[in-house]
């Protein structure tokens, strides 16, 4: 794990200026534009076409930054689940540049824009908070509010986590890194601890910016996370 974190920290140092200039994506208009399914249709597809709806709600790692429309996390997850016999639609609600605050701001708007209540919302936010040095207390509070909103609507949630770059210091890491495990335990939701695990330490699976996966990298993520998602939508 230390080797992974050191490599991760070096990559983050290199790309911090790029990430800091990313589109905040916090407006409702942007969220609607990005809220599409794996075949490019809007999220208002006929609910009769599938048995389960999954919303992937996150930042550029979810949005498919730098990839073709059919190569991002949402379409690849839908493809894998469908190949496994699941009747499922995965809606892409990832917005590049989103912080946890921006995600919280657009959550209700995104959910209200769907034609059906999702069976599962996978939440992957916090990386941009970390890159910008936002207080971990604020990150935790925003993620908690997101999970509270999902819980109040009776929607199952799942978290994918992020790790603090070592260059931010031990104090920051000690506050940031436990956020996801703490919230997963508090809300009794499944957690995939580090979205880029198995990918970021392999440069050939990363785009030239050093922080976003290639299409092949996304395939690795999906392969690792697919079983957890299947178990969650199969649960009574």
Choosing from 98, 119, 129, 212, which is the catalytic residue? 212
Q: Residue 160's closest CA among 183, 145, 177, 180?
A: 180
Annotation says 135 is catalytic = no
pLDDT digits (tens, 9 = 90+) for 162-218: 999 999 999 999 999 999 999 999 999 999 999 999 999 999 999 999 999 999 999
pLDDT bracket for residue 48 (50, 70, 90): low
Q: Name the average pLDDT for the chain.
A: 85
- The answer to whether residue 70 is catalytic is no
- 52 part of the active site: no
Q: What is the mean pLDDT of residues 9-38?
A: 39
pLDDT for position 141 = 98
**Per annotation, catalytic residue among 24, 70, 182, 209:** 209
What's the pLDDT tens digit per position in 52-82? 999 999 999 999 999 999 999 999 999 999 9
Coil/strand/helix, residue 41: coil
- C-alpha 87/C-alpha 81 separation (Å) is 8
| Closest to 82 (Cα-Cα) out of 215, 230, 228, 195 | 230
Helix (H) or strand (E) holding 93: strand 88-94
2-234 classified as CATH 3.40.50.1110: yes
């Amino acid at each position: 794990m230390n080797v992974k974190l050191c490599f991760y920290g070096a990559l983050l140092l290199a790309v911090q200026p790029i990430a800091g200039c990313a589109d905040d994506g916090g407006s409702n208009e942007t969220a609607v534009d990005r809220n599409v399914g794996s075949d490019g249709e809007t999220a208002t597809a006929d609910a009769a076409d599938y048995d389960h709806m999954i919303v992937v709600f996150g930042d550029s790692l979810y949005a498919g930054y730098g990839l073709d429309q059919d190569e991002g996390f949402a379409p690849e997850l839908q493809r894998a689940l469908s190949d496994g016999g699941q009747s499922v639609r995965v809606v892409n609600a990832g917005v590049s540049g989103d912080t946890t605050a921006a995600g919280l701001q657009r959550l209700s708007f995104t959910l209200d824009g769907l034609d059906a209540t999702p069976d599962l919302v996978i939440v992957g936010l916090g990386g941009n908070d970390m890159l910008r040095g936002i207080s971990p207390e604020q990150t935790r509070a925003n993620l908690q509010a997101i999970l509270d909103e999902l819980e109040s609507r009776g929607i199952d949630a799942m978290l994918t986590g992020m790790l603090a770059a070592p260059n931010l210091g031990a104090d920051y890491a000690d506050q940031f890194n436990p956020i996801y495990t703490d919230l997963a335990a508090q809300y009794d939701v499944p957690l995939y601890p580090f979205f880029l695990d198995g990918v970021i330490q392999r440069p050939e699976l990363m785009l030239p910016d050093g922080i976003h996966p290639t299409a092949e990298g996304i395939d690795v993520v999906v392969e690792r996370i697919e079983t957890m998602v299947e178990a969650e939508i199969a649960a009574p």
